[in-house]
A and B are shown apart, each in its own frame.
Chain A
Amino acid sequence: GAGVSQSPSNKVTEKGKDVELRCDPISGHTALYWYRQSLGQGLEFLIYFQGNSAPDKSGLPSDRFSAERTGGSVSTLTIQRTQQEDSAVYLCASSSPTGGYSYNEQFFGPGTRLTVL
């Protein structure tokens, strides 16, 4: 079946502009995660959705970052007034329902490479 997809694959924007990054999880996966991969900071957790709710958004670096998920499926990560330090690869992952004693593997998308000029 189809894996996690992300769009666009590359995004170049000017400082101060807003950007939206999209993630389509694997069908049936209720958990969805956003991570950021940058040269200076490595791979960092941003936010976690269970269904349409975000019980853990502690990794969002500032109030310029927000994310939503609708219909328990597609998620959008929005960065307002982009800064050069926002340049990174933004990765999305999804997994089947979590909880209890089991760990459910996170399947990663190919990422969106964001460049802020």
Chain B
Amino acid sequence: AQSVTQLGSHVSVSEGALVLLRCNYSSSVPPYLFWYVQYPNQGLQLLLKYTSAATLVKGINGFEAEFKKSETSFHLTKPSAHMSDAAEYFCAVSAWGNNRLAFGKGNQVVVIP
């Protein structure tokens, strides 16, 4: 079975500062890993995904994540936070051949002007 852990339900970041959201996964088989963003009263939007190609993955809105097998991590970063980045972010994992997603608890990001 696959699972992910996201620590710190609420994350505050100053506008212009680095955004770092941590995700650690557990999987008995090579995983597919994802970050989704959810704005208020909206569905989930895919930010980026790792599917066993390049370990450094670039996504939309300036976000990127690095897959580190040795650390079982897939942390999300953005060099400079913008007010529009305020949202909830979810890390998710699935296994090859099975698209069922297992989500972390999410991080609510607040951007401070």
A and B interact physically? yes
By a beta-carbon cutoff of 8 Å, the part of chain A in contact with chain B is 4, 31, 33, 35, 42-45, 48, 56, 91, 93, 95, 98-106, 108-111
Chain B residue at minimal CB-CB distance from A101: B96
Which of B32, B41, B43, B103 lies in contact with A42, CB distance below 8 A? B103
Specify the main secondary structure of chain B where it touches its partner: strand
Task: Please name all residues of chain B whose beta carbon is closer than 8 Å to the beta carbon of A93 when the two chains form the complex.
Answer: 43-44
Which of B44, B96, B97, B100 lies in contact with A108, CB distance below 8 A? B44
Complex formed: what's the CA distance from A27 to B94 in Å?
24
Complex formed: what's the CA distance from A43 to B6 in Å?
13
Query: Would you call B94 and A103 a contact (CB within 8 A)?
Result: yes
Query: Would you call A95 and B99 a contact (CB within 8 A)?
Result: yes
- Which among B49, B99, B105 has the highest number of chain A CB atoms within 10 Å? B99
Query: Would you call B104 and A42 a contact (CB within 8 A)?
Result: yes
Query: Would you call B97 and A4 a contact (CB within 8 A)?
Result: no
Query: Would you call A43 and B99 a contact (CB within 8 A)?
Result: no
Which of A91, A104, A111 lies in contact with B99, CB distance below 8 A? A104
Complex formed: what's the CA distance from A2 to B10 in Å?
33
Task: Please name all residues of chain A whose beta carbon is closer than 8 Å to the beta carbon of B92 when the two chains form the complex.
Answer: 43
Task: Please name all residues of chain B whose beta carbon is closer than 8 Å to the beta carbon of A99 when the two chains form the complex.
Answer: 97
Complex formed: what's the CA distance from A105 to B59 in Å?
13
What would 19 A/B residue contacts be, using CB atoms closer than 8 Å? A4-B43, A33-B100, A33-B101, A35-B103, A42-B104, A42-B106, A43-B90, A43-B106, A45-B101, A45-B102, A56-B100, A95-B99, A100-B97, A104-B99, A105-B49, A106-B99, A106-B101, A110-B41, A110-B42
